[in-house]
Chains A and B, each alone.
Chain A
Amino acid sequence: MPSWQDFQPFIVSGLALGGVYALSGVGLIVLYRATGVLNLAFGALGAMGALITWSLIKAGVPDWLSWLACVVFAGAVTLGYGIIFGPALAKRDPLVKAVATIGLTLILYGLADLLWTTSGGQARSITFPTDNSGFMVGQVQVNWTQVIALAAGVVITVATGAFLRYTKLGTAMRAMANDRDITATLGVPVRKVEAAAWLGCGVLAGLAGLLLADLVALDATTLTFLVISSLAAVLIARLRSITITFIAAIVIGLLHDLLTPITALTNYRDMTPFVLAAVALLVLSRHQVMSQSREEA
């Protein structure tokens, strides 16, 4: 059994990873609650955005502009998808809406792999100036990027919570989460509110993509399908609460990284999000009522 010393660095990296998962989870939940769409393309959007950033930096564009490009790209594509396919699929089952975003995922993933070939290509990476500066907590080196990742998770969760609670747009989104038709009847501009949710989700996808490209790896496949791990936190929150999403994301990130120094389990640490999500889903669905309503489970 490794000593406490061995675990310390992984607490820091785990918290950073958890922060990004929380950020992703909040983006997924806001969109799901407002539009009923679980955006499985979340990872692909961030991946392609991050690859664009990489190319821009390589071409000599100032760093901050390149980072902005990632967020703008992800936001614009998500908004475009939402405007084109959102209304067309609005009346369909949540499952159909989620599967449709798999279509977007495959298009983006194919494009990213085509334009930024992986086979035989050089390893790409995005580095922030904050990577190399940091401080010590006890004997553990903490860099500012990790702090930013965790802080982004906290700030986005709190800000989104406040936004949904106190602003007019946020109230409209919560109303849509309850019932789209009644909300429309009450005079809420449903399409506009949905568009805002799509844009918000896209911007968060871009942010998450940038951070994960630095913290994990800049690779189209890895980033695209990392959304499956982010989904776990959202599932534990049953696609509802952003607070539970945040807590679940931090737990998943921490547990995943804390298993690393344990030799017997280190190979299985990637199972963490899946196992936690599966167990949570099964436990939470103990008392299920079958109904004809659209909102299932």
Chain B
Amino acid sequence: MQATPVQQDASRRYKSPRPDRKQLTRAGVIAVLLLFVLFGLPQLLSLYYIDTMTQVAVYSMVALGLGVLVGRVGLVSLGQVAVLAIGAWVAARLLFATTQPYPLVLLEAGLITMVLGVIIGLPALRLRGLYLALITLMLAGAITVVLATVNFPNGGHGFLGYNGSLVNIPPIRRPSIAASDPAYFRYSVVVAILMFALVLAHIKTRPGRAWAAIRQSEPAALAAGINTWLYKLWAFALASFITGVAGGVLAGAVHYLYSIGFPTQDSITLLAVVLMGGAYSMWGAVVAALLYQFLPALLNNWGVSADWLTILFGVGVLQVLTTAPAGLADQVPRDLARLGRFLRSRIRKAAPAPGGDAA
């Protein structure tokens, strides 16, 4: 079989392992940024903001999972906060019941959440588009009601592990190497990095290409021989796993979990911020988490009502959907570049080169 020019081009690019300068710079910037977040940030921030940033790390994972579903595969889920609650519940139960090392508990919480997500997602995936979004909202509503009744484990006995009394509740433990707040922040960032790497590994390989095909057109993907059912379920499983792990990190971060902290409507707000941050890029997940957790903390510190933020999110959703489908993570750099070009052209106009016409 003769290779087409496109294939030749692709194979040539594949064979040259030397990354170009642009890629190297980008990797360097990310490395510096991560080192700063891990070692610089905890030194600079007060305890209040360190706790906030731990939440940002947790929710960047949740946003990442939703971003995979929405941005990569085109499945909209309105139930991710309920999935997060399941992950947190499982992790809390395991942490109270066993003395396993924390990373193992996180892995188990992720896997159990994944299994539950797949069981729930299996029938739901027969639906598409608006109907899928709405059934996830319905299931999230149902999960929230169940959680409100069974409560989160707080060191009690039995399968549910709920101790009815409200005094002497033991806190959910943290890993011994990350007992303090700054250390736990670093720990959660490392977990988040691992999750981002996991998603990156998926996007760069076969599942990522299959997802891209499904996002463009499901019938076309099916016609091209892609097992759309398998890859959609795979995306659901991956998102549930990541969200479950995030739930495990959240359990240790807050020490005490209450079902009132996971209302159904938060899933709706989460979708709004993920769309605002940008569902198509992984930076979008970080932006979304900052919008969702850091901004409220900042406003709270300034004494501004969080309601303004809710209004801002509403405006943001409308703005993103009507003018900027790729979200802030795409729009801001693009607009900055445009502004830069504009400013440069103005400067050039203001000081015309000798011999050049200023018209």
Which chain A residues have a beta carbon within 8 Å of chain B's beta carbons?
38, 40, 85, 88-89, 92-96, 98-100, 102-111, 113-114, 221, 224-225, 228-229, 231-232, 235, 267-268, 270-271, 273-275, 277-278, 281-282, 285, 288, 290-292, 296-297
Minimum C-beta distance from A28 to chain B (A): 11
Q: List 5 A-B contacts (CB under 8 A).
A: A85-B318, A100-B317, A100-B321, A228-B138, A267-B148
Name the contact of A94 in the complex, choosing from B130, B148, B272, B275 (C-beta under 8 A).
B130
Q: Chain A contacts of B318 at CB under 8 A?
A: 85, 100, 103-104
Name the contact of A103 in the complex, choosing from B130, B135, B217, B314 (C-beta under 8 A).
B314
Q: How far is the CA of A107 from the CA of B309 in the complex (A)?
A: 9
- The listed residue with most A CB atoms (<10 A of its CB), out of B138, B222, B316, is B138
Residue B308, interface by CB 8 Å: yes
Minimum C-beta distance from A217 to chain B (A): 16
Q: Which of B172-180, B263-271, B342-350 contacts A (4 or more CB under 8 A)?
A: B263-271
Q: Chain A contacts of B124 at CB under 8 A?
A: 282
Is B310's CB under 8 angstroms from A106's CB? yes
Is A271's CB under 8 angstroms from B141's CB? yes
Chain B minimum-CB-distance residue to A81: B318
Range of interface residues on B (Cβ < 8 Å): 35 or more
Is B309's CB under 8 angstroms from A110's CB? yes
Is A104's CB under 8 angstroms from B310's CB? no
Chain B minimum-CB-distance residue to A104: B314
Is A102's CB under 8 angstroms from B317's CB? yes
Q: Chain A contacts of B135 at CB under 8 A?
A: 235, 277-278, 281-282
Is B76's CB under 8 angstroms from A103's CB? no
Is A285's CB under 8 angstroms from B265's CB? no
Is A282's CB under 8 angstroms from B126's CB? yes
Q: How far is the CA of A102 from the CA of B133 in the complex (A)?
A: 13
Minimum C-beta distance from A42 to chain B (A): 13
Q: Chain B contacts of A106 at CB under 8 A?
A: 268-269, 272, 310-311, 313-314, 317
Chain A minimum-CB-distance residue to B265: A225
Residue B219, interface by CB 8 Å: yes
Majority DSSP secondary structure for residues of A touching B: helix
- A275 and B127 in contact (CB under 8 A), knowing A100-B321, A106-B317? no
Q: Chain B contacts of A40 at CB under 8 A?
A: 268
Encoded as 1 (CB less than 8 Å from any A CB) or 0, chain B from 135 to 173 comes to: 101110110011011000000000000000000000000
Is B309's CB under 8 angstroms from A38's CB? no
- A111 and B130 in contact (CB under 8 A), knowing A99-B321, A103-B315, A225-B264? no
Is A111's CB under 8 angstroms from B127's CB? no
Q: How far is the CA of A281 from the CA of B141 in the complex (A)?
A: 15
Residue B5, interface by CB 8 Å: no
Within 8 A of A (CB), among B258-282: 263-265, 268-269, 271-272, 275
Chain B minimum-CB-distance residue to A270: B145
Q: Chain B contacts of A114 at CB under 8 A?
A: 305, 307-308, 311
Residue B131, interface by CB 8 Å: yes
Residue B338, interface by CB 8 Å: no
In the complex, besides A104-B318, A297-B128, 16 extra interface pairs with C-beta distance below 8 angstroms are: A38-B134, A85-B322, A100-B318, A100-B321, A105-B268, A106-B311, A109-B310, A228-B141, A268-B149, A275-B142, A278-B142, A281-B138, A285-B126, A290-B219, A296-B129, A297-B129
Q: Chain A contacts of B123 at CB under 8 A?
A: 282
Chain A minimum-CB-distance residue to B321: A100
Residue B218, interface by CB 8 Å: yes
Minimum C-beta distance from A67 to chain B (A): 26
Is B322's CB under 8 angstroms from A95's CB? no
Q: How far is the CA of A104 from the CA of B322 in the complex (A)?
A: 13
Q: Chain A contacts of B312 at CB under 8 A?
A: 110
Q: Chain B contacts of A235 at CB under 8 A?
A: 131, 134-135, 138
Is B76's CB under 8 angstroms from A99's CB? yes
Q: Chain A contacts of B316 at CB under 8 A?
A: 103
Is A271's CB under 8 angstroms from B310's CB? no
